[in-house]
């Protein structure tokens, strides 16, 4: 069934969109990630204009994270104070990101920006995750794993300290704000929640306890992506309601199925799989930039405004 | 000089009786509505040649049909290799290029209309693209307009439909022009030209109106006129849909 998307102004198969949402949903349910970093490139591949894909994906992330945040709030695994600090950074970052996005759109380099950001971040995160999870896999086979704890890093010597009771931390607000800004910029440019950056940063850089990390990052993501959606909607008019709803319905159902598959697999195996998947997406986007395209020209709306 | 005189006589000879030929035409539809399930539309363009006197037999009669979508300024960009990757380097701004363009003719286009008449009546797609900015910073502006035509031909927006106008007994004609799903809204100027030996003898013009309707219209208007409300609404709808879908799925699993 073909359906005409009013904002993207293209006609696509509704079942294809439901299916894409479903597959990415299954993966995100299995691995416990948002899936934005997979969905946005897939939308490029099926011919949705990049600007619409990024803005609509932000909208979808808000909705797909919503029930997750509620569940975490109920379980009290959200550090609201830390979430608030991250959020302040996130809003600043999102505003900067949308400005950058619009400026580059005017000179026709936005596709390059989006793709380069993907290659860079997916490449780094994918390889780190791959190496780390392989090591963990070896260790779990070896049997003896000793948890290491670094208590004091440079992070703890910065000014403007604040008490974060839920996380049991007394640290400066500068690092969390910077992490928030980075994630906000990524949300605006790449159409991702940024959980794949924020979660490792919270654990390794800020030293937050693992049990509050996911809830707190979801809490920050939901507000930052909502803000990003509004910014894209008011400056670019590129949020497609119809596209978001179709992807979402598939995505939510997929996520439920994925979560059930996920509990049957071992955590280390899951991490290796996720790392490989991230590297595959990164490789595909990277090759597209390196190999001479079949069509050297492209048509864009008149820019320079 | 001699050549000029022969051309002149030919023009005089052909144009005199030609005035007596007139087009009577119709379209299967004058409105195209873009709805949520719009997959494109096919327009039947048909008509007849009305004559007061018997037709001249010496020159062949041909029919050319042009359907032209609303024009808009666009930018064509070219990629080049920089630092090992392919990035957009050159860009050319075009003052106006039609969003859709179909030329159907009863014979091949060169046979149906002379180059001079093509320029005068702006028939082939190359003529309808306007380059108003001085393209002095571009080495080869033709390369950019050719690319534009190539890309749009590939996506079905520009069409050269030669020998698709069916002409019966030099009187009745009909052709079908398929409009793709990714249409731009606006008035589609539709021209029918009658030619004898490459010269236009009669012209008929009408308009096909393409519009988004219903929900599509409403969403598009809201997004552009009240973007903040639209943005908030998309968030609310998305959250409701996500919540609804997960609740429904849980209910199905429980039963």
In CATH, what number is assigned to the domain containing residue B63? 2.60.40.3880
Chain A, nearest residue to B144 by Cα = A297
Residues B153 and B234 in one domain: no
Contact state of B245 with A248 under an 8 Å Cβ cutoff: yes
Is the same domain home to B45 and B156?
yes
Check A302 against B227: CB less than 8 A apart: no
B238 and A63 within 8 Å at the Cβ level: the answer is: yes
Q: Where are the domains of chain A?
A: 2-142+152-290
Q: Do A230 and B232 touch (CB under 8 A)?
A: yes
pLDDT of residue B17: 47
Note whether B94 and B219 are same-domain residues. Answer: no
- Mark yes or no for CB contact B230/A239 under 8 Å: yes
Q: CA B179 to CA B102: how far, in whole Å?
A: 9
Co-location of B241 and B131 in the same domain? no
Is 70 exceeded by the pLDDT of residue B12?
no
Beta strands B31-34 and B199-212 are parallel
Q: Are B14 and B59 a contacting pair, CB within 8 Å? A: yes
Residue B133 shares a structural domain with residue B50: yes
**Residues of chain A positioned with their CB less than 8 A from the CB of B147:** 295-297
Please compute the mean of the pLDDT values over residues B146-154 and round it to a whole number. Answer: 87
pTM: 0.74
- On chain B, the residues whose CB falls within 8 A of the CB of A64 are 242
Segment B100-107 shows an average pLDDT of 89
Which residues of chain B are within 8 Å of residue A112 when distances are taken between CB atoms? 87-88
Q: How far is A23 from chain B (nearest CA, A)?
A: 15
pLDDT values of chain A reduced to their tens digit, one per residue, 305 residues: 778 887 877 778 889 988 988 888 888 777 767 778 788 888 877 878 878 888 898 888 888 888 778 878 888 888 888 889 889 999 999 999 888 888 887 777 777 888 888 888 888 888 888 888 888 777 766 555 444 455 556 666 677 777 777 777 778 888 888 889 998 998 888 878 888 788 878 887 887 887 788 888 888 888 988 998 888 888 878 888 888 888 888 888 888 788 777 777 777 777 788 788 888 888 888 888 887 777 778 777 654 33
B163 and B244 belong to one structural domain: no
> What DSSP line would sit under chain B, residue for residue?
-HHHHHHHHHHHHHHHHHTTEEEEEEES-SEEEE-TT---EEEEEEEEEEESSPPPSSS-EEEEEEEEPPEEEEEEEEEEEETTEEEEEEEEEEEEEES-EEEEESS-HHHHS-HHHHHHHT-SHHHH-B--S--TT-S-HHHHHHHHHHHHHHTTSEEEETT-SEEETTTEEEEEEEEPSSPPPEEEEEEEEEEETTEEEEEEEEEEEEEE-HHHHHHHHHHHHSHHHHHHHHHHHHHHHHHHHHHHHHHHHH-
Distance CA B6, CA B8 (A): 5
**What are the pLDDT digits (tens) for B208-236?**
988 888 777 888 888 888 888 888 888 88
Has the ipTM of the complex gone over 0.95? no
pLDDT tens per residue across span B171-193: 899 999 888 887 888 899 999 98
Range of the domain at B160: 2-212
Q: Chain B: residue nearest A292 by CA?
A: B86
Q: Which of A302, A303, A304, A305 to mutate to test the interface with B (most CBs of B within 10 A)?
A: A302
């Amino acid at each position: 069934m073909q359906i005409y998307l009013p904002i993207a102004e293209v006609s696509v198969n509704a079942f294809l969109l439901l299916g894409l949402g479903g597959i990415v949903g299954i993966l995100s349910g299995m691995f416990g990630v948002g899936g934005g970093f997979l969905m946005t490139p897939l939308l490029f591949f099926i011919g949705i204009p990049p600007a619409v894909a990024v803005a609509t994906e932000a909208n979808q992330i808000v909705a797909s994270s919503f029930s997750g945040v509620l569940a975490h709030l109920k379980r009290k695994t959200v550090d609201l104070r830390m979430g608030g600090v991250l959020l302040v950074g996130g809003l600043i970052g999102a505003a900067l990101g949308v400005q950058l996005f619009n400026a580059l759109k005017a000179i026709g380099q936005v596709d390059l920006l989006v793709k380069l950001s993907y290659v860079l971040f997916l490449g780094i995160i994918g390889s780190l995750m791959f190496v780390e999870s392989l090591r963990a896999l070896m260790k779990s086979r070896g049997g003896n794993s000793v948890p290491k704890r670094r208590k004091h890093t440079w992070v703890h010597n910065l000014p403007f300290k604040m008490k974060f009771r839920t996380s049991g931390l007394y640290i400066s607000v500068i690092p969390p704000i910077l992490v928030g800004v980075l994630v906000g910029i990524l949300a605006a440019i790449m159409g991702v929640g940024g959980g794949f950056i924020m979660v490792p940063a919270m654990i390794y850089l800020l030293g937050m306890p693992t049990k509050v990390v996911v809830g707190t990052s979801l809490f920050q993501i939901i507000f930052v992506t909502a803000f990003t959606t509004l910014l894209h909607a008011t400056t670019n008019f590129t949020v497609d309601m119809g596209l978001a709803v179709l992807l979402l319905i598939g995505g939510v159902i997929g996520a439920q199925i994925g979560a059930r598959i996920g509990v049957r697999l071992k955590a280390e195996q899951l991490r290796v799989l996720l790392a490989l998947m991230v590297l595959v997406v990164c490789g595909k986007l990277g090759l597209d930039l390196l190999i001479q395209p079949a069509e050297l020209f492209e048509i864009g709306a008149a820019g320079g405004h | 000089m001699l050549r000029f005189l022969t051309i002149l006589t030919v023009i005089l000879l052909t144009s005199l009786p030609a005035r007596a030929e007139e087009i009577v035409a119709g379209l299967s539809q004058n409105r195209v509505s873009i709805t949520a399930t719009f997959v494109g539309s096919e327009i039947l363009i048909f008509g007849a040649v009305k004559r007061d006197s018997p037709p001249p037999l010496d020159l062949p009669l041909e029919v050319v049909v042009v359907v032209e979508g609303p024009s808009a300024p666009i930018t064509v960009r070219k990629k080049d290799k920089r630092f090992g990757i392919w990035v957009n380097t050159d860009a050319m701004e075009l003052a106006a290029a039609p969003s859709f363009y179909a030329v159907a003719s009863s014979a091949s286009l060169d046979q149906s209309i002379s180059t001079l008449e093509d320029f005068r009546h702006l028939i082939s797609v190359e003529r309808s693209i306007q380059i108003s900015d001085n393209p002095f910073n571009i080495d080869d502006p033709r390369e950019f307009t050719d690319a534009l035509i190539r890309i749009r031909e590939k996506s079905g927006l520009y069409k050269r439909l030669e020998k698709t106008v069916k002409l019966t007994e030099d009187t009745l004609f009909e052709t079908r022009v398929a409009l793709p799903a990714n249409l731009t809204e606006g008035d589609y100027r539709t021209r029918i030209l009658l030619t004898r030996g490459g010269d236009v003898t009669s012209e008929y013009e009408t308009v096909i109106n393409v519009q988004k309707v219903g929900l599509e219209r409403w969403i598009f208007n809201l997004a552009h006129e009240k973007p903040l409300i639209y943005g908030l609404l998309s968030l609310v709808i998305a959250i409701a849909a996500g919540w609804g879908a997960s609740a429904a799925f849980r209910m199905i699993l429980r039963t």
